[in-house]
Amino acid sequence: MASAVWDAHCAPGAPALVIGASDVIRSFDRCARPADRAPTVVSNRGLAGIDGTLATAVGVGIGLGGPVRAVVGDLTAVHDGLGLLHGVHETAPDVQALVLDDEGGAIFSRLEHARTAEPAMFARWFTTPQAVDLGALAAAVGAVHRVVDGAVELARLLAEPVRGCSLVEVPLLG
């Protein structure tokens, strides 16, 4: 998935790309390769963690005056979904939030915590699975909601222009 998004953003006229923290940035780090055209990429790292990523995407869209695709995990979408909200007197930037849904903080399953913590405690304090209806979240912020399942649908989505505000779910499990 990260390879497909990266390749699409190396094309001329591609929207700016905001890459979320945690597993998302690690996936891009593993698959991003040099291309004839370098994409415009922004990522919050360090102290910010997952907070503020979607708000950053909105700010990048306003600042650049062009479309932005943000690729984030489901916990980022849950914690920062209201960052897509804009005031009634504000022009909504063209921002698409591509939400990679792995049902929580899957990155921790590869860290030492998974081997040492009792399973219930590990789930509660590290993977923190959520039961948020991302379609309802999208509706609350006035975004179009869509579910993309599989590589073919993702390729179609990446070929479409980013217009308006949208939240796109990409289920990674099951």
| CATH number of 135's domain | 3.40.50.970
Number of domains in the chain: 1
| pLDDT reading at 71 higher than 90 | yes
Please give the pLDDT value at position 174: 60
Instruction: Provide the whole-model pTM.
Output: 0.89
Strand order in the sheet with 68-73: 41-42, 16-19, 68-73, 95-101, 165-171, 144-147
Q: With beta carbons less than 8 A apart as the criterion, state whether 104 and 78 touch.
A: no
Range of the domain at 33: 1-171
Let me know how long the chain is: 174
Which residue do the tokens 């304090």 mark? 125
Q: Of 26-35, 97-106, 141-150, where does the model show the most confidence?
A: 141-150
Please give the pLDDT value at position 94: 97
